[in-house]
Chain A
Amino acid sequence: MSSADEACGEGTAKDRMKEEYRKYTFRKVLFMLACIVCLVILFGYSLTLGSHEIDFFTVFTTLWDHITGVSYDIGTPEWTNDFLVWEDRLPREVIAIIAGVGLAIGGAAMQSVVKNPLADPYTTGISSGAVLGVTAALALGITAGSISGNYGIVANAFLFGMIPTVVTILVSRISKTSPATIILAGVAMSYLFNAMSTLILISSEAGKIQEAFLWQIGTLQWTTWDDFPMMFIIVAVGSVVLAFTSKQLNILTMGDESAKSLGLNADNYRLMVLVVLSLMTSAVVSFIGIIGFLGLVSPHIVRMIIGSDNKYVIPAAAIFGALFLLTADLIARTVIEPGELPVGVVMSFIGGPMFLILILKSKKGVW
């Protein structure tokens, strides 16, 4: 065989590889694009809903006009539309998207870091810490820095939510930073904090239990623009950091030894991811309460559809999480009139069966 033929053979092999790789990424990108399109449509649609119906395109023109700084006279229909869309409905949708992104990325990162399909953003005990903070604020009136009212609850949830994470990190630093240690320390802290909340709740009256329970199940009902800045900044920074280090996350799932030989300091990287995702989760939880299921299941669903390469799982989980929470919230507020269902309940009702079907259909194990 001549050398020219050989080169030609190599060329086709290379082309074939390229072709395969393109196919491999195409599916993943397609999935993300589909999710984004759904998200935009749903976002617009949910802005049209409410006591005063505004049609789909008016919503987007109103949004655009607001952004470009068009102002209206008070009392005109345009002004009403602008007010309803911008002040009344938009905060809720935006915060649903931020929360969905934050929790789903948190879940995907946590599952990869501790290499456990049972892990979710709350694994290091954030939720139990936040619950204790809120319970303390509601039942005993103890707030961090004695900030009163709603902000006291938010501050308490955030600060108490970080305590179990800090302890977990300290324990794993002193002992060893293996995934099992992180998980177990998180479990111990969760139980400890839950026990303390229980202690407080048992000694308080029935009304307080109900209040604390309502906070725990999480809702987007009371969101305003005031909640936006802190949540947005923390989630945005965290997401960017995790998305850019997703390659290292892939290396980490191969095991600490391989990670080391590939030049990654596994222990330090793991702790960095833990800190980032805990801050994100805490920021989300302290404003809207504990929304379960999303952080655990969205990464799994995404993995079943596009495989477990974190380079794609992280962004795809983020988009899917936002879509999932927005859909669930839309159903939660429209299915019963008047009033609404807790979004967590809706999510479990739709997500649970969907998840079961996906498990049944998935051809290969992704774990």
Chain B
Amino acid sequence: MERTLFKSMYYKSVSRKVIFAVVCVVIAFIALGLQLSFGYYDVGFVESYQILWDHICGNFPDTDIGLKKDHIIWDLRLPRSLAGMAVGAGLGVCGAAMQSTLKNPLADPYTTGISAGAGLGATISIVLGVCLIPGIVGQPSIVIDAFVFALIPSLVIIAFSSIRRKVTSSMMILIGIAVMYVFTAMTTFLKLTASEDSLQDVYMWSVGTLGKANWDNVWFMILATIFGMVLFIMLARRINVMITSDTSAVSLGVDPKRCRLLVLVIVSIVTAFLVSFTGTIGFVGLVAPHMVRIIIGSDNRYLIPASAAFGAMMLICSDVIARNIGTGLPVGVITACIGGPVFLYLLVRQRKSVW
């Protein structure tokens, strides 16, 4: 009797979590339709799904207007929407994993200095016009520099961990901070020597935008995100164990140092891919996991996939709004303007502490 009661309670709590994730995915899907149908050339909401479906099935339209619509939807608008979902999901997952492994509510995908590294790379490319691979100029050079520099802080942390036997999570955070400040100082130094126009370019890069997405680069973002999601969902149980304490983790058969470094490496790779194409889009990686935590609790088995769904939803919805309010409005601004108050509301309403 009691057992069935337990079982039904458990199913109820699990189904709540699953429903939450599904609702996020559905909203993201609806936002995708909105995203595709709005623009200089209006396409109907349902029609846009129709066109997508036809393109995927290989039924290309034979009329001129049909081809034009297909081109607009598939080539011009879809990459941006997919990039939005990939970046949102990727940052959401990485943020959740980072917060859980470092046991710190202030952690986000950029905590270990990835954004500072990417920012330095981008600034070097924009201000000095130098690319790490010679002969490449313009946008690709920014991407390459940003990507390479984004990985440096994590390499420093790994190097330190190989010297010291014990590496606690706060030590990792502090090393990240030190590297981050050195990088930021270099960036600031470069910015001071920069002309007004390149300073504006650097500023625009650091704010982050989805506008540069196209079919050539969106694949990298999607694959990086899927890579991160799969690995973190597989690691979720281990991360759960790590939350207790390092000693309990050891006694339960998880090597905390190795697990932390593994998470760090995955987060760095995924985030470096996302950041180098879009610039540092903030807020989602930090706040999406927190919102999910407040709503469904902090069991990483559900938290990680739900953060992906919620992050994707958050970013694509913000991008729909950003594109329709005004031109050139960065998506991060909208995310923060809407997400900030919602987050405060959730904080006020939360019943029990999840940290």
Spell out A's residues near B (CB within 8 Å).
116-119, 123, 167, 171, 174-176, 178, 180-181, 183-185, 187-189, 191-192, 194-196, 198-199, 201-202, 206-207, 209-210, 213, 217, 292-293, 296-297, 300, 341-342, 344-349, 351-353, 355-356, 359-360, 365, 367
Partner of B181, one of A184, A188, A352: A352
Residue pair B182, A191 in contact (C-beta under 8 Å): no
Given A167-B344, A187-B287, A352:B182 Cβ within 8 A: yes
Residue pair B181, A348 in contact (C-beta under 8 Å): yes
Q: Provide the residues of chain A in CB contact with B188, threshold 8 Å.
A: 217, 342, 344-345
Q: Is B119 part of the binding interface, using a Cβ–Cβ cutoff of 8 Å?
A: no
Residue pair A202, B106 in contact (C-beta under 8 Å): no
Interface size (B, Cβ < 8 Å)?
58
Partner of A195, one of B179, B192, B196, B337: B337
Given A187-B287, A191-B340, A119:B160 Cβ within 8 A: no
| Interface-centre pick from B199, B200, B347 (highest chain A CB count, 10 A) | B347
28 A-B pairs, CB-CB below 8 angstroms?
A: A116-B104, A118-B107, A167-B344, A171-B347, A176-B353, A180-B105, A181-B347, A188-B340, A188-B343, A189-B344, A191-B340, A206-B196, A206-B199, A292-B184, A293-B181, A297-B181, A342-B188, A345-B185, A346-B185, A352-B182, A352-B185, A356-B156, A356-B160, A356-B178, A359-B171, A360-B160, A365-B168, A367-B170
Residue pair B168, A367 in contact (C-beta under 8 Å): yes
Shortest distance between the CB of B157 and any CB in chain A (Å): 10
CA distance A344 to B207 in the complex (A): 21
Partner of B174, one of A201, A206, A300, A348: A300
Q: Nearest CB to that of A199 among chain B residues?
A: B333
Q: Provide the residues of chain B in CB contact with A116, threshold 8 Å.
A: 104-106
Q: Provide the residues of chain B in CB contact with A185, threshold 8 Å.
A: 344, 347
- By Cβ-Cβ distance, the 4 closest A-B pairs, closest first, are A348-B185, A192-B340, A195-B336, A352-B182
Q: Is B341 part of the binding interface, using a Cβ–Cβ cutoff of 8 Å?
A: yes
Shortest distance between the CB of A177 and any CB in chain B (Å): 11
Q: Give the interface segment out of B129-137, B265-273, B324-332.
A: B324-332
Q: Provide the residues of chain A in CB contact with B106, threshold 8 Å.
A: 116, 118-119, 123, 183, 187
Partner of B287, one of A123, A175, A191, A353: A191
CA distance A163 to B131 in the complex (A): 43
Residue pair A192, B174 in contact (C-beta under 8 Å): no
Residue pair A175, B170 in contact (C-beta under 8 Å): no
Given A175-B348, A178-B353, A117:B170 Cβ within 8 A: yes
B164-223, CB < 8 A from A: 164, 168, 170-171, 173-175, 177-179, 181-182, 184-185, 188-189, 191-192, 196-197, 199-200, 203, 207
Q: Is B355 part of the binding interface, using a Cβ–Cβ cutoff of 8 Å?
A: yes
Q: Is B283 part of the binding interface, using a Cβ–Cβ cutoff of 8 Å?
A: yes
Residue pair B182, A118 in contact (C-beta under 8 Å): no
Q: Nearest CB to that of A361 among chain B residues?
A: B164
Partner of A202, one of B104, B105, B329: B329
CA distance A95 to B157 in the complex (A): 36
Q: Provide the residues of chain A in CB contact with B207, threshold 8 Å.
A: 198, 202
